[in-house]
Every structure is written in structure tokens, then in C-alpha cells.
Amino acid sequence: MFLREVTILREKFPADKRYPFSVPALAQSKGLPFQGPVTFFVGENGSGKSTMLEAIAWQCGFHTAGGSVNQTYELEGSKADFGPYIRLSWNRKVASGFFLRAESFFNFANYLDQSVREQPQYRDDFYAPYGGKSLHEQSHGESFLSLFRNRFGRRSIYLLDEPEAALSPARQLSLLSVFHRLSPDSQFIVATHSPILLGYPGAQIYSFDEGPIQKIAYEETSHYQLTRRFLENRGAIFRELFAEDEE
Ligand SMILES: Nc1ncnc2c1ncn2[C@@H]1O[C@H](COP(=O)(O)OP(=O)(O)OP(=O)(O)O)[C@@H](O)[C@H]1O
């Protein structure tokens, strides 16, 4: 494990309480200690998970639109609203890693293709870490897994924002086997809504719901509880849901 702690520098917050200082989890927390190689951020939509992940990526020197320290595309787009307001404490500082966000993966695929067009003699070198061909020639899920399987190495920190977005349940399990293979030599910090990913053995889960960020057990997450209830008795859930419509 490399990153030991994120400290939130509340004394540096500006007086006005606009985004990102209006997000309760970010405004009310002091920091996040990391205790293992795999940490998850959970919370409702809009609770601040991506903002925090992006801030960590910015402090790591990764491109905040998604990528690693070596990616130089659209550098002016590499910004993080909350980045200057946190401090990272390391056990051992690592410079290698990757920030993956679903919405900017498309831009990253474009960047890779453009690099190949500009330097066709290095085609194989460019594509090798990503399954040997353009990410646009692979399905959304295939290209994600190409990245996970081929690009992820040891001694790195990986910041993943909803990596499940493109993955079938079976492929989400494949991703967990990548986590298992690479940890504890690498560190993963993952914002997710997936009850499958959250079940990773020994993972630390931080909830961004309701005030300061706090640790939560897997079984206490709404993701686990709702999914479990749904699988055990989805008829009851639908009856409740549709009854609201009829009132
Ligand atoms: N650039 C921005 N300007 C203003 N408000 C923003 C900006 N980015 C995010 N927000 C707001 O800040 C809050 C936190 O957003 P964030 O994307 O961090 O949430 P999240 O927990 O990652 O959500 P989700 O699970 O939907 O991805 C949301 O209310 C969002 O609308």
C-alpha cells in the first residue's frame, strides 16, 4: 500500500460555499486514512465521490480527464476543483498508475489513435498495453478489460471511477481477479455503485452519504441491502414501487 492518507485542508477553504465546498461529505470531513490495497467510495449520486477521486488524481499528477502522468493530451483540461484542498501522505510515493473515468475513456481512445497516426512506426508499442489494437475497435467492455489486463502493472496506484459501467457481472468478477493479482503490490481506490465490486474480500469501504465520510461495512451499504432484497423478493419491491405511482 502506497497512499496512506488524504488530509482535507479545511483551513484553506474559501469563505463562499460554492461547489466543491457545498458537498457535505467534502466540507465536513477531515481526511481519509487508507488501510489496505483496495478502497471503495460509495454514496448516492452527487455525494462527492468523483470530486474526491479527481482531486487525488490531480495530486498524483495524473491527467484528471483520465490517464497517467505520461498522458499529455489536452493538458489544459487537466483540472480538479478540489485538488488544491487536499494533501496526500505516502508510505512510499509512486509515480506510476492510472486514473480511469468512464466518461473520458473515449477521449483517451482518440488520443491513442492520434498518437499512432502521428508515429505509425510505433503502432505496436502504443497499442500493446491496450490489447494490441485501437480501443475503438473493441467493445466498451472489451476495451476496459484490455486496459485492466494489459496496462495495469505492479507498484502503481489506480484510481477508478465507476469501472463497472461497461462491465457485465462476469467481467466485474474478472476485474476483481485483477485486483487480487496486483495487490498488495498495487493500490486501488475505486468509486463504485456495484454490489459485486464492493464485496471484494478485505476491502475498506468509505461512505460519502450523510455528512462526514465514514467507514461502512459491506453488509451495511444500501447497495448490498437493496440488491439482496431485490434478489430475494423482487415482487415485493415492485409492488411497493408501483403502489407509489398509483397513489
Ligand atoms: N464542475 C462542477 N460544478 C458545479 N457542481 C458540480 C461540478 N461537478 C460536480 N458538481 C456537483 O457536486 C456534487 C458532487 O458531484 P460528484 O460528481 O463528485 O458526485 P458522485 O458522488 O461522483 O456522483 P455519481 O455517483 O453520480 O457519479 C453533485 O451535486 C454535482 O452536481
pLDDT tens per residue across span 86-129: 999 999 888 788 888 876 677 777 888 888 999 999 999 888 87
How many other C-beta atoms lie within 10 A of the C-beta of residue 19? 11
Q: What is the pLDDT of residue 182?
A: 85
Q: Give me the pLDDT at residue 115, please.
A: 87
Predicted local confidence at residue 20, as pLDDT = 93
| Gap from CA of 48 to ligand 1 centroid (Å) | 6
Atom of ligand 1 nearest to the CA of 47: 21
Whether residue 39 is predicted with pLDDT greater than 90 in this model: the reply is: yes
**pLDDT score of 66 more than 70:** no
Strands 38-42 and 187-191 turn out to be parallel
- Cβ 22 under 6 angstroms from ligand 1: no
Q: Do residues 85 and 57 make contact, with C-beta atoms less than 8 angstroms apart?
A: no
102-106 contact pairs (CB < 8 A, 24+): 102/161, 102/162, 102/163, 102/165, 102/166, 104/65, 104/66, 105/66, 105/135, 105/143, 105/144
Residue nearest to atom 4 of ligand 1 (CA): 19
pLDDT of residue 65: 59
Tell me, in angstroms, the distance from the centre of ligand 1 to residue 53's CA.
11
Q: Is 223 in the pocket of ligand 1 (CB under 6 A)?
A: no
CA gap 155, 159 in Å, rounded: 13
- For ligand 1, atom 19: residue with the closest CA: 46
Q: pLDDT at residue 67 above 60?
A: no
Determine whether the shortest distance from the Cβ of 192 to ligand 1 is under 6 A. no
Q: Closest ligand 1 atom, CA of 54?
A: 18
pLDDT at 6: 97
- Specify the residue with its C-alpha closest to ligand 1, atom 18: 48
Q: Which H/E stretch holds residue 59?
A: helix 49-60
The answer, yes or no, to whether any atom of ligand 1 lies below 6 A from the CB of 47, is yes
| pLDDT computed for residue 247 by the predictor | 67
* Closest to 50 (Cα-Cα) out of 125, 152, 160: 160
Return the closest-CA partner of residue 39 out of 208, 223, 203, 213: 203
Give me ligand 1 centre to Cα 24, in Å: 11
Report the complex ipTM. Answer: 0.96
Domains of the chain in sequence order: 3-216 (3.40.50)
Question: Contact at 8 Å (CB) between 164 and 196?
Answer: yes
C-alpha cell at 39: 478502497
76 pLDDT band, cuts 50/70/90, is: very low
Pairing of strands 214-215, 204-207: antiparallel
Q: What is the pLDDT of residues 127-169, one digit of tens each?
A: 887 778 888 888 777 777 777 777 777 788 999 999 888 788 9
Q: Is the CB of 45 under 6 A from ligand 1?
A: yes
Query: For a pLDDT cut of 70, what percent of the chain falls above it?
Result: 92
Q: What is the pLDDT, as a whole number, of residue 75?
A: 42
Predicted confidence at residue 17, as pLDDT, reads 84
Q: What is the model's pLDDT at position 171?
A: 85
Work out the number of other CB atoms within 10 angstroms of the CB of residue 217.
Answer: 9
Q: How far, in Å, from the CA of 172 to the mean position of ligand 1?
A: 24
> Which of these, 62, 96, 84, lies nearest to 8 by C-alpha position?
84
Taking only the tens place, the pLDDT of each residue in 176-187 is 988 898 887 899
Contact, 139 vs 160, CB < 8 A? no
- Determine which residue's CA is closest to atom 17 belonging to ligand 1: 50
Q: Which three cell numbers stand for residue 29?
A: 470531513
